[in-house]
A and B are shown apart, each in its own frame.
Chain A
Amino acid sequence: MKMSNPAFRRYTWSVVLLMTGYVLILFGVNAFFDHGAPTGVSAYLAAALPALPIVGVFFVIGRLLVDLKTDEYVRMLLVRQTLVATAVSLTVATVWGFLESFDLAPHLEAYWFAVLWFAGLGVGNCANAFFERGASE
């Protein structure tokens, strides 16, 4: 996909900012729990804080889909990429959930499925390369 497209530039910068924020928040929240021993509402709020930049990335991907309204082919590629990522992550989450419920797999924190979804975007990119052979020469 063409990175000189302003929509992709905005997406890239947004992701860089969100990931920088994620690292800073994660360090801050870890330090807060290590030294502050929070309880009650503050503990819940602090624990949920690192999720915000990740949710932000989902939002930014959605905004990219909207921004690509004139470039329908590239938007179709991105839609396919995200659908593949969703299929991969939900399939693994479902299978893992059943394995876990029968004590055949260790417990996995649910946020790993978001990480898997991002990895699934790579799989989606490979699917695009496979299905669109010859179209990007």
Chain B
Amino acid sequence: MKNRLRVLRAERCWSQSDLAERLEVSRQSVNAIETGKYDPSLPLAFRIAELFDLSIEDVFESPSRHSSKAI
């Protein structure tokens, strides 16, 4: 799932480790989510969005909306 995690993190000058610490996950997890290799659960997605004071849709791109745009 595409997301703006890397951009949002860079805007705050946070490293992956900084973000991982704030989310209480490993840096490996942050990297997997950022690169779209892993889709977080809804609770983790909420934690991420709340950390940036944004809604989930502002952080993650809806896969269904993305595919309908492509059509």
Which positions in A face B, CB cutoff 8 Å?
A: 1-2, 5, 70-74, 76, 132, 134-137
B31–A71 touching, CB < 8 Å: no
Smallest distance from the beta carbon of A1 to chain B beta carbons, Å? Answer: 7
A interface: dominant SS: loop
Distance between Cα atoms of A54 and B44 in the complex (Å):
34
Q: How many B residues are at the interface, by size bracket?
A: 10 to 19
A73–B38 touching, CB < 8 Å: yes
Please indicate the chain B residues that have their CB under 8 angstroms from the CB of A73 in the complex.
25-26, 28-29, 32-33, 38, 40
A75 nearest CB neighbor, chain B only: B29
Contact of A1 with B35 at beta-carbon distance under 8 Å, contacts A72-B41, A72-B44 already known: no
Please indicate the chain A residues that have their CB under 8 angstroms from the CB of B26 in the complex.
1-2, 5, 71, 73-74
**1/0 contact string of B3-30 vs chain A (CB within 8 Å):** 0000000000000000000001111110
B31–A74 touching, CB < 8 Å: no
Which positions in B face A, CB cutoff 8 Å?
A: 24-29, 31-33, 35, 37-38, 40-41, 44
A76 nearest CB neighbor, chain B only: B38
Please indicate the chain A residues that have their CB under 8 angstroms from the CB of B29 in the complex.
71-74
B37–A134 touching, CB < 8 Å: yes
Please indicate the chain A residues that have their CB under 8 angstroms from the CB of B41 in the complex.
72
B28–A2 touching, CB < 8 Å: yes
Distance between Cα atoms of A11 and B44 in the complex (Å):
24
Please indicate the chain B residues that have their CB under 8 angstroms from the CB of A76 in the complex.
38
B32–A135 touching, CB < 8 Å: yes
Distance between Cα atoms of A123 and B29 in the complex (Å):
21
Which residue from A70, A134, A135, A136 sits with its C-beta under 8 Å from B25? Answer: A70
